[in-house]
Amino acid sequence: MQNDLLAALPGQLAILDQSVLIVSNPNGSNARIVDGGGFTAALQPVWSHDGQKLAWSSYNEDEILINELGIATDAKSETPFGSTLPLYLQWNSSDDLLAYLRPSPFSNELEVGTIVPGESPKAVGEAAPFYFSFAPDDDSILGHINSEQWVTWSDGPNVDLGPTDGSFSAPAWLDQNHVVAHLDGALTVVDLRDGSKVVVADVAGPTEFVVSPSGDLIAFLAGPPDLLSVQFDDTQSLSTLRIVEVDTGHELLVTDSQVGAFEWSPDGSKLAWLEYAEGPAVGLARWHYWAGAEVAVSPAYRPSDLMAEQYLPFFAQYAQSHSAWAANGEAFAFAGAIGTDDGVWVQVMDPTVAPVLIGFGSMVIWSPDGEVTPGRSPA
């Protein structure tokens, strides 16, 4: 029964088992190693928007490469990448250009740049910390230089969008003309055409936010309601997960528990969030799934070291290019240990069905294959 449910899910999984990259069906069948093992290590896989290409980086004792695999054809390309490993990769909207983030070969900062498979990397800027986002319709890049400024780069002049601070990490696009950031204690939408600003939600202190696929909702972290007007210091935790409707400013409290990551389903109908346990279960966490009300909860599990170290601290950045959701929003994949069983799990959106262990792995992302009609959660 469970395997039948998983076999009917769209797309494929890209799984990192330590440094070995595997592609499989959602039920674990047809698993194949595409890179890694021996003297080669694979890392940072990312699916193209159409789900037909998988890119990742790899290294051995001789070189660092950016790899691209055509899923339908098995055609593979390898592009030399210089002397430092990428920390993050993101496809542009047409899936023919990758943006990267890596330690600069020439300084102690981070380098943001672009790479066309088969060509040399092209640096765009340097800073530290650095976060970025590709535009939805062209190759413009929105960047956030922590504690300094946020900017856009394109084929035309660079646009300095003004000073900001370290109260958030990754900026985001609502659509081709509007971007969102946390400025002056508020989630703020900026119109790139005239520079006008609209406050969407007041959020004192640090925050993280993820825009829904349709751009009309923003999930964000904030303090509890009675502390929203209080300035937080760096030691205070973000205590509530909320959703705001961009057009109206209407807010909805999702949970007031400690949240470590969250992401929208590709169709925008559901939100997953990771909630940490307290007391004797410290170190364990549960994924919760919400669509106007809670629709499922995973068992308590221990996230894999790779997820805990590489993904969870930077989830707002990864949420723009990586998804653990099936394209239709009917299942979610995660990596870690439930009891003594360790590997990749797939949870269907049915509270009566337990997650299924489909195989070994320490990180998993789902391809965006499948017919997806953009929707929205009932905020």
Tens digits of per-residue pLDDT, 277-299?
775 556 799 999 999 888 899 99
Residue 48 has pLDDT above 80, yes or no: yes
315 contacts 208 by C-beta, under 8 angstroms: yes
What is the distance between the alpha carbons of residues 99 and 374, in angstroms, rounded to a whole number? 25
189 contacts 203 by C-beta, under 8 angstroms: no
Can you give the pLDDT at residue 175?
94
DSSP state at residue 310: I
Confidence band for 236, pLDDT divided at 50, 70 and 90: very low
Residue 1 has pLDDT above 70, yes or no: no
What H or E segment, with its residue span, contains residue 7?
Answer: helix 2-7
Amino acid at 91: W
Locate all alpha helices (DSSP H) within 269-338, ordered by sequence.
305-306, 315-318
Can you give the pLDDT at residue 295?
84
**In percent, how much of the chain has pLDDT > 70?**
89
The SS3 of residue 64 is strand
Can you give the pLDDT at residue 147?
67
Instruction: Mention every residue, 6+ apart, whose C-beta is less than 8 A from residue 293.
Output: none
- Count of Cβ atoms closer than 10 Å to residue 272 Cβ: 23
Can you give the pLDDT at residue 224?
55
Q: If you average pLDDT over every residue of the chain, what do you get?
A: 88
Confidence band for 373, pLDDT divided at 50, 70 and 90: very low
What is the distance between the alpha carbons of residues 134 and 224, in angstroms, rounded to a whole number? 32
User: Which tokens sit at 55?
Assistant: 């890119």
Confidence band for 180, pLDDT divided at 50, 70 and 90: very high
The candidate with the shortest Cα–Cα distance to 55, out of 96, 104, 4, is 96
Confidence band for 64, pLDDT divided at 50, 70 and 90: very high
Confidence band for 363, pLDDT divided at 50, 70 and 90: very high
pTM: 0.91
pLDDT tens, 321-357? 999 999 999 999 999 999 999 999 999 999 899 999 9
268 contacts 378 by C-beta, under 8 angstroms: no
Looking only at Cα atoms, what is the longest distance across the chain? 57
The candidate with the shortest Cα–Cα distance to 207, out of 232, 233, 238, is 238
Can you give the pLDDT at residue 332?
97
More confident residue, 64 or 129: 64
Confidence band for 231, pLDDT divided at 50, 70 and 90: very low
